Structure 1
């Protein structure tokens, strides 16, 4: 049985289609010699996609002990294909081939995954794909906690509520061809804002929301966006696989974080793959003793990543 997500990329396994696709992307970016460059990178582009999907397919039948390694390296391959769709000269040098992220090498006896951090390095794949795919530049040395990363994935919010018996977000509804998002007006009280101040807040967080309209109607807050939100970079809104939309209750948690979802998955899978490879004792204890709340978060996340990442990559490649 072929994995359903494998079908997403089948058109790209035609050199004719992929070359035409790359040519069109390069022409949009006004890259010189777009057609000849698309021919040069076409094979590499297709193999990155194919290898990425093979890793994901293998992960779907592998035990949890191995899943993080397979998913991370599969994701790296898919990201490289995405970069090639926007930059035919990648990789320009060997510096961009490193992961671009680091983590604490030795875990303490009291180690908890949710409290762990990853640190961004100056060069490498992480900074490279943020810049080339999302035009986001990050400074060397920024740190991100695993708990923060999980909080910014809509697919994890139900688990937070179940385990902590308290919701970390408000759930909204999408209307009017996805241009309108409706939340409870409670969000204004939580953020200590008027509708007008909330408009300014959204515009300050995401330039694509410039011209947003926020109207309070009884118990509802109706947010009308200039365009339907790009779910690849919908900050501060987060979407789950079922197209439900969420907004964190804590305003300070939003101010602290603004990475697109594809970057969030990279950081989480990087750290999990490192633990899987180099912290065998802790990883084994986690899986077999069910201590604390780390295991439910990690297990649920790996299932989400396996299902959702191919769709995010496909959405990136197919965006206009």
Structure 2
């Protein structure tokens, strides 16, 4: 398979790439800035890819740590494409999220919460890479985050008898969805159009054309097809197919890379500091946490390298 990140093993190519990134953002002295950031960019990229490679070859019990360290390194490389001065201070080096340190009796991973902090890599990467300036929520449940990953939906159907999404068909400059979605969301076509405008951070929605609806489907006109790494409210599976959630309360504006970051942070903390619970999870088979965690880790192993490749290649 083609390795789209191989060119970044050349310092001359990387300098040209970063110079172009900085020029497009109107940074003065773009060539000088790329000279100072190119080696750091390459080393973060190499470390991230090495963590991902090791995670794919490691027992599941330690995969969360390797995948989380991998996503941290890759995010730092990506942040350098938009912020040549990263890191400007020590506060920005923090992970930027936190969880409850001790797990209470009867703890369930899917019910656990993660809290967003004001400083650190999480918010900084959201701002620089995805132009998200303000978090819509301070806390997120693991179950809500899992639902943002399209590849998890089949497991929800099997384990909980929940059909939580509908398929989205891409046709030339439009998305088509079964009209059942409007009933699920309790929205008219016009109200759904207003909802999409609120989600329209990258201007993919063609407001002028308007949404067309009939008894069977609704058609959403697009300026361009949303990308796999930044697609809310469209969720993209690893096979490239698109889906949309059926409940308004399930919608989350975070890009999928950020969803993986939050889930992997919590799992990496658990496997490091909650060894007893983590060990029992893999041996007593009680509850539903283990299938969801195993499915998620399998998806992350396959999908994270692809998402980062898509992001960086979109900047070339």
Shared fold (TM-score greater than 0.5)?
Answer: yes
* CA distance, structure 2, for counterparts of residue 141 and residue 262 of structure 1: 17
Aligned match of 1:70: 66
Aligned match of 1:183: 177
Counterparts of 1:114-125 in structure 2, within 5 Å, are: 114-125=110-121
Note if contact 1:101-1:126 (Cα within 8 Å) is conserved in structure 2.
yes
Aligned match of 1:21: 17
How far does the alpha carbon of each residue in 1:247-277 deviate from its partner, in whole angstroms, 9 at most, with x for none?
11111222xx211111111100000000010
Note if contact 1:121-1:141 (Cα within 8 Å) is conserved in structure 2.
no
Note if contact 2:142-2:263 (Cα within 8 Å) is conserved in structure 1.
yes
Note if contact 2:4-2:313 (Cα within 8 Å) is conserved in structure 1.
no
Candidates 206, 219, 232, aligned match of 1:235 = 232
User: CA separation of 1:140/1:91 partners in 2, compared to 1, >3 Å: closer, same or farther?
Assistant: farther
Whether 1:293 aligns to 2:255 is no
Using structure 1 for the length normalisation, give the TM-score: 0.94
Candidates 276, 297, 318, aligned match of 2:313 = 318
* CA distance, structure 2, for counterparts of residue 76 and residue 205 of structure 1: 26
Pairwise CA distance, 1:139? 5.2
Unaligned segments of structure 1, at least 5 residues: none
Note if contact 1:51-1:74 (Cα within 8 Å) is conserved in structure 2.
yes
Stretch moving more, 107-116 or 164-173: 164-173
Candidates 289, 299, 302, aligned match of 1:304 = 299
* CA distance, structure 1, for counterparts of residue 306 and residue 152 of structure 2: 17
Pairwise CA distance, 1:122? 1.2
Whether 1:247 aligns to 2:244 is yes
User: CA separation of 1:38/1:302 partners in 2, compared to 1, >3 Å: closer, same or farther?
Assistant: same
Aligned match of 2:211: 214
Q: How many residue pairs end up in the alignment?
A: 312
Note if contact 1:130-1:263 (Cα within 8 Å) is conserved in structure 2.
yes
User: CA separation of 1:141/1:95 partners in 2, compared to 1, >3 Å: closer, same or farther?
Assistant: farther
Candidates 215, 222, 225, aligned match of 1:225 = 222
Note if contact 1:101-1:118 (Cα within 8 Å) is conserved in structure 2.
yes
Note if contact 1:122-1:139 (Cα within 8 Å) is conserved in structure 2.
no
Whether 1:153 aligns to 2:135 is no
Q: What SS class does the counterpart of residue 102 from structure 1 fall into? A: strand
Aligned match of 1:51: 47
Q: What SS class does the counterpart of residue 66 from structure 1 fall into? A: helix
Computed over aligned residues only, the root mean square deviation of the Cα atoms, in angstroms, reads 1.6
Q: What SS class does the counterpart of residue 168 from structure 2 fall into? A: strand
Stretch moving more, 47-56 or 207-216: 207-216
How far does the alpha carbon of each residue in 1:194-243 deviate from its partner, in whole angstroms, 9 at most, with x for none?
22221111112224225163212341222221221133222111110111
* CA distance, structure 2, for counterparts of residue 74 and residue 160 of structure 1: 27
Whether 1:163 aligns to 2:159 is yes
Pairwise CA distance, 1:117? 0.5
Note if contact 1:121-1:140 (Cα within 8 Å) is conserved in structure 2.
no
